[in-house]
Amino acid sequence: MARQHPELVVGAIVQNKEGKILLIRQKKWENRYSCFVGGHVRFGEPILIALQREIREETGLTFSLDDTTWLEWKEVIRPDLYHREAHLVFLNYLVHVEDTRLRLGAEIQEAVWVSIEEGIDMVMPENHDALEKLLATL
């Protein structure tokens, strides 16, 4: 049975010092590439702390909150590609990392560093807008 309330999710486009972004593949999103790394905010957890925790758990990457930029919020009700019925509210950021050595968590099937242009061609359609906005700011 679906949860009966919206779920708060934090995510980030992770960018390295060469300007490449991290794409991840997860079974819960039908093994499609996503440009957002993240997950659910725990009760009582500050949003940016949740973002740091989720990125560390899923990729092993760390970053400073000083290297974090707000991108967008997005509401998705009953996403087609998600593994269950849900009402998700995403708070999305851009983060910059120095160390790019990955230690993938159990939820991630694959991760690749690509240019933003390559990412636009690879990610699920729901991620195109965010990458196109990011590309326009460069």
pLDDT digits (tens, 9 = 90+) for 68-102: 999 999 888 876 766 677 788 999 999 999 999 99
Amino acid at 93: Y
CA distance 115 to 132: 12
Number of domains in the chain: 1
How many CB atoms are located within 10 Å of the residue 24 CB? 25
Q: Does residue 1 belong to any structural domain of this protein? A: no
Q: Does residue 2 belong to any structural domain of this protein? A: no
Locus of tokens 């659910």: 40
Reported as a single tens digit per residue, the pLDDT across 18-66 is 999 999 998 876 768 989 999 999 999 999 999 999 999 999 999 999 9
Whichever domain contains 27, its CATH number is 3.90.79.10
Domain that holds residue 16: 7-136
Q: Is 54 helix (H, G, I), strand (E, B) or coil?
A: helix
Pairing outcome for strands 87-97 and 7-16: parallel
Beta strand segments in 2-107, E: 7-16, 21-26, 33-34, 37-40, 68-77, 87-97
pLDDT at position 104? 95
CA 47, 108, 127, 19 torsion: positive or negative?
positive
Q: Does residue 44 belong to any structural domain of this protein? A: yes
Name the DSSP class of 123: B
pLDDT at position 81? 65
User: Please, are residues 115 and 23 in contact by the beta-carbon 8 Å criterion?
Assistant: no
Report if pTM > 0.75. yes
